């Protein structure tokens, strides 16, 4: 999976310390959402397709919690600038995905990403949906 935006940025309103470094207020800082999403400390097996990782505190077969830090994944941002429509969007998305998985067989090919202001597929994405019959 790739994040919608590759980076989030802020201007610090107060001094901060990170990894032993002092960062003064007024400093422009950026965090790589892509890198956080690939960090095995936050997401064990980061390149594996594991939809169960998004269930609350779900563990891997080895007993590892699949999302070590919920803040490492923040598609709707965090804090005062977070999306006010987050809960509605997540509910709508769950319903859409559930209904689509229930009704179709999905096929596609692997597609890379291009990082600009927002993350974009490297080529046209062809998704083939084959309606399932009632007996499937």
Q: Which residues contact 92 (CB under 8 A, 6 or more apart)?
A: none
CA-CA distance, 49 to 92, in Å (whole number)? 22
Q: Is 19 annotated as a binding residue?
A: no
Residues making up the annotated binding site are 83
Residues making up the annotated binding site for heme are 83
């Amino acid at each position: 999976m790739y994040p919608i935006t590759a980076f989030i940025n802020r201007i610090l309103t107060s001094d901060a310390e990170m990894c032993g470094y002092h960062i003064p207020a007024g400093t422009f800082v950026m965090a790589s959402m892509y890198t956080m999403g690939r960090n095995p400390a936050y997401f064990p097996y980061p390149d594996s397709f594991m939809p169960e990782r998004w269930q609350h505190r779900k563990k891997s077969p080895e007993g590892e919690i699949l999302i070590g830090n919920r803040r490492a994944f923040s598609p709707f941002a965090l804090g005062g600038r977070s999306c006010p429509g987050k809960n509605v969007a997540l509910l709508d998305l769950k319903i859409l995905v559930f209904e689509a998985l229930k009704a179709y067989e999905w096929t596609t090919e692997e597609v890379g990403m291009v990082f600009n202001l927002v993350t974009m597929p490297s080529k046209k994405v062809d998704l083939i949906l084959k309606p399932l019959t009632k007996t499937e």
